[in-house]
Amino acid sequence: MELQTLYNEYLNIKFKRGLQPVQMESFEYGLYDDDSADLFLKDHPEETFTNWMYDLQPRDPHYVSEPDWKPVLGELFQQMDIYDEQVLYYLLFTINTTLSINSHNAYSTMNDFMKNYSFLQLSHLSEITRLNAEQKHQVRDFFFFYYLYAHPVNEETLYACSFDRQNLVHTKTDIPLERYFAAFHDHYSTNMNEYSEQIAIAPHDIQTCKHLTLELLRRIEGKSAKLNMPKEEGLEAVLLLINDVDQMLQMHDENKTVLFEIMKKFLTEARSTPYRDHCFTTLLQNYVSYILFFRFDEIHALVDYFEATPEWCRMIINKIFMDTVFIDRVMRQKRIDITAYPNVIQFFDDEAKRIYL
């Protein structure tokens, strides 16, 4: 399965790009009346990639005073208890929702962007050469935190995993997610007779879902080739920097004015489509994630360049500070007092002032 093709189709539908749908072998997107969409199995058009396992959700042991059952895969993973089983199910469900398209309110729009932005960046990290190993580890943990946080998941699930080199493991049990997810799908596809009332798809469909789940996981772990944002006329320069973080970092280090000129050119054209706006937001958050994350004072150069056009400077600053909570987390981690940056806060709109001042 070519995940890049599926990712392109996800963006095509999500941002109403109007491109001809791509025919895929096993899945197709189905749209709901509220503009949300899900991946449906072609052989079972009533079942989605996300919800085929809905009735397999483990019983919640937190609501039972003395839970007396064992995990379904307890013999294979003897270090796992029923609380761990529930967390691992939540993690599987979270990964499987990565390519779902949801309707949004103001709160969920930010979360949706942060989750899918973090997913894309996690797929890029292994190919970035202009960050050292420690810097990569820092931003990888940052992105994975927000990938889960913005789903959102409960606190137990949020802190359940850690990276062991390029393997995501359930920290308490040391179970690799890849191994558990593979075993989960293999168990249910092999024992269909036992679960016929809970599963509406065929064993080979479960294996198809397994392959897609593992492809998504391997992108998060950085084991597979990065995903790219698809091309669009007029966005060549912006997309080059999004799809090649090394290029953005090199440009900034050698002549940051060129980077700012690309931003300025985008604003000069003043054409607005959902995909164009998403690409510009992504570029600005890359600036936060890969530059301000390590060198916050670089924000002075951005303001110095754009202050001659205050309307653009105000728009950029407020997008940086308000489109996500990334920069808020960076400032907390680095103990940065934004009031020490009067040249920045002079461009805050009322909502940014309320939140940051």
Contact assessment for residue 72 and residue 187, using Cβ atoms and an 8 Å cutoff: yes
At a CB cut-off of 8 Å and minimum separation 6, what does 297 contact? none
3-state helix, strand, coil split of the chain in percent (to 5) is 60, 5, 35
- Residues ≥6 apart with Cβ < 8 Å to 150: 110, 111, 112, 113, 114, 115, 118
**Which phi and psi (to 5°) does residue 273 adopt?**
-135, 160
Cα 10 to Cα 348: distance, rounded to the nearest angstrom = 33
Instruction: List average pLDDT for each run of 10 residues in the chain, which is 357 residues long.
Output: 92 95 91 93 94 95 88 97 97 97 86 97 97 97 98 95 96 98 98 95 96 98 97 96 98 98 94 95 98 98 97 98 97 97 98 96
Task: Supply the pLDDT for residue 83.
Answer: 96
Identify whether the C-beta of residue 356 lies closer than 8 Å to the C-beta of residue 348. yes
Is the pTM above the cut of 0.85?
yes
The pLDDT score that the predictor gives to residue 36 is 94
Q: Check residue 1 and give its pLDDT.
A: 59
The pLDDT assigned to 105 comes to 81
Pairwise CA distance, residues 295 & 282, whole Å:
19
Strand order, beta sheet including 37-41? 27-31, 37-41, 44-48
